[in-house]
Amino acid sequence: MRKGWGRWLRRAALALLLAPPALILLFRFVPPPATPLMLIRAVQGHGLSKDWVAYDRIDRALPRAVIAAEDNLFCEQALGFDFRALRGQVEAALEGDRPRGASTITMQVAKNLFLWPGRDPLRKALEVWLTPQIALLWPKRRVLEVYLNIVEFGPGVYGAEAAARAHFNRSAAALTAQQAAQLAVVLPAPLQWSAAAPTSYLRERAATVRRRVGQLGPLLACAE
């Protein structure tokens, strides 16, 4: 009996170890059908609007704006982490300060694609485990493509195409630089902020993002 349990536990552990890399490898080529967040929001009554589009059908202004707003060093990260920002988080925590965010685009893909929303230690640990697997198995362009197709841009609105049509009545391929910046700045709080009706704070943030896009230069190379 004890041997049977041991065999079952070893098989379960092997499955847990191999399943994420297998899914990550699959999603390198196949669009993810849905994410846990999409299902949670649908149950909460937000609906579900999404329309997967290839990276070439998203105006480059959007990935540039997202990198400028969310993760300036995205193109240079080998394992999907911003180690400088993570070190700052640890130092802030040790000094008793509230740590600032250090979540990269690759980390957000890991969270959005496989995990649930929240800040609990288990979710963060799983995010840290999944992030380098995505960074190693996917090219940067695929990370951006998946991110821009599954990220939440508003209540029940996921991905660049659905967001462009919901907020600006146009396709993702026809977004302007200003519209892209307005979409990028709502990402921290898409249920509270609207890209179509930005507050004065969001307009200022969008202007900052547009300036930063012009300053980043080679750091945006992987978005082309």
As given in the structure block, the two tokens for residue 217 are 């230069």
User: For the chain, how many structural domains are there in total?
Assistant: 2
Residues 88 and 186 reside in one and the same domain = yes
What local confidence, expressed as pLDDT, does residue 84 receive? 78
Residue 67, pLDDT above cutoff 70: yes
pLDDT tens digits, one per residue of 91-117: 444 444 444 456 999 999 999 999 988
- 13: which DSSP letter? H
Residues 25 and 36 reside in one and the same domain = no
What local confidence, expressed as pLDDT, does residue 86 receive? 60
Range of the structural domain that residue 67 is part of:
31-223
Query: Residue 213: which pLDDT band, with cuts at 50, 70 and 90?
Result: very high
Considering only residues 62 and 22, tell me which one the structure prediction assigns the higher pLDDT: 62
Sheet holding 157-158, edge to edge: 49-50, 157-158, 152-154
Residue 13, pLDDT above cutoff 80: no
Q: What is the CATH number of the domain that holds 199?
A: 1.10.3810.10
Q: Kindly state the percentage of the chain with pLDDT values over 90.
A: 75
156: left (phi > 0), else alpha (psi -120 to 50), else beta? left
